[in-house]
Amino acid sequence: MNEPQGTRSSTARRSRTVLVTFFGSVVRKMGGWMPIAGSVELLTLCGLDASSVRTAVSRLKQRGWLAAETRAGVRGYRLTPTALEALAAGDEVIWHARQPADLADGWCVVNFSVPESARAKRHQLRSHLNALGFGNIGSAVWIAPARMLAAARRAIEELGLTDSCAVFVGEYVAGPRLRELVRTGWDLGEIDRQYREFLDGYGAEADRLAERAVIAGADAFVGYLAVVDHWRKLPFRDPGLPSEVLTDDWSGPAAVRVFERMVATLEGRALAYAARHWPSGESDG
For 196-227, how does the pLDDT look when each residue is reduced to its tens digit (9 = 90+)?
999 999 999 999 998 887 899 999 999 999 99
Could you tell me which residues come within 8 angstroms of residue 258 by beta carbon, excluding any fewer than 6 positions away?
A: 198, 199, 202, 203, 206
Look at residues 281, 279, 274 and name the one whose alpha carbon lies nearest to residue 28.
274
CATH code for the domain defined by 107-170: 3.30.70.240
pLDDT in tens, 262-278: 999 999 999 999 999 99
Cβ proximity of 77 and 34 under 8 Å:
yes
Q: Where are the domains of the chain?
A: 5-85, 107-170, 188-275
Look at residues 88, 86, 132, 94 and name the one whose alpha carbon lies nearest to residue 110.
132
- Residue 108: left (phi > 0), alpha (psi -120 to 50), or beta? beta
Task: Indicate whether 153 pLDDT > 50.
Answer: yes
Q: How far is the C-alpha of 195 from the C-alpha of 234, rounded, in Å?
A: 7
Which strand ranges, in their side-by-side order, compose the sheet holding 141-145? 135-138, 141-145, 107-112, 165-170
Percent of the chain with pLDDT over 70: 92
Task: Indicate whether 35 pLDDT > 50.
Answer: yes
Work out the mean pLDDT of the chain and round it to a whole number. 89
Which of 3.30.470.10, 1.10.10.10, 3.90.550.10, 2.30.30.140 is the CATH number of 5-85? 1.10.10.10
**Residue spans of beta strands (DSSP E) within the chain:** 33-35, 66-71, 74-79, 107-112, 135-138, 141-145, 165-170
Cβ count within 10 A of residue 6: 8
Cβ count within 10 A of residue 214: 6
For residue 5, the model assigns a pLDDT of: 47
Which strand ranges, in their side-by-side order, compose the sheet holding 74-79? 33-35, 74-79, 66-71
pLDDT (average), residues 176-201: 92
